[in-house]
Amino acid sequence: MSKLSNLVSKGVRLIVADDLESEPEAEAPAPVERARRERTPRELPAEALVAEPPKSVQRSQLAADVLDFSEVYAEAGIELPLHGYGIEKVGEMLENKRLAAMAREVKATAVLAALEAAGVELKDVIQDGVRRDKALDAFLAGKTAGTQELRGKSEARVEEIKEQIAVFLREKNAEIEALKKAAEGAGQALAKLEERKQREEERLHGILSHFIEAAANPITRAKAAVPDKPASTS
């Protein structure tokens, strides 16, 4: 609820009457009673609720979790009226301990009497509240738009990263398969090389065996594999 809504709920409404039938919860000060007797029912003009909009802020530099809305108001260029009576001041007046036990209408009448004594029009207070409310609306709208924009960019980037990961995995899986095939091919080629080498050595050994005794033949040959010794059944 905005400060303006709070103010209205506490009794500063469009009509302030002098014929209150209910007795106040506590005796009001004499000036307040006099103001109540002298004040006649009246309505504020509609234009009193219309305020010049605050400064437009394209992109707020404040975080969404800002704790003090005075920063929002300052960013929107909202300043107190020259007489110093804004909605915050009136809110403090309504919370004054001297008025705490009084009925809402009596509080409203007392504050209005104080404003009149200070030469302050109620419309100035209302318009200050309206401008602050508009600043809060604009701040929320800006943060909502910013959050939606960020969410959209984040989701797009997430999808982009997922695609990059998928491409990376496909490339690396293909590389793994290629390395496996290369290693397997190299192993098969090595096995064939060993077979060919053995046959070639046998051929060379055979040629020289015609001229050199077997024990002195310089050609090395692969030794035949010794079969595994069968396990004893005893």
Answer yes or no: do 123 and 198 share one domain.
Answer: no
Q: Which helix (H) or strand (E) holds 98?
A: none
Structure tokens at 135: 């600043």
Distances (CA, A) of 4 to 10, 53, 118, 133: 10, 15, 21, 7
Task: Show the tokens assigned to 180.
Answer: 């496996």
Instruction: State which residues form the domain around 202.
Output: 159-216
pTM passes above 0.85? no
Q: Which pLDDT tens digit goes with each residue over 174-232?
A: 999 999 999 999 999 999 999 999 999 999 999 999 998 888 889 888 765 555 555 55
Residue 164 forms part of a structural domain: yes
Whether 71 and 105 map to the same domain: the answer is yes
Counted residue by residue, the chain has a size of 234
CA torsion through residues 69, 75, 81, 84, sign: positive
Q: Are 90 and 195 in a shared domain?
A: no
188 with 127, same domain?
Answer: no
Q: Please check whether residue 233 lies inside any domain of the structure.
A: no
pLDDT tens sequence across 7-57: 544 544 443 434 333 334 445 555 555 544 444 344 566 666 666 777 777
- Total count of domains within the chain: 2
Q: Are residues 28 and 136 in the same domain?
A: yes
Q: Within 10 A of 132 (CB to CB), how many other CB atoms are there?
A: 24
Asked if residue 146 and residue 46 are part of one domain, the reply reads yes
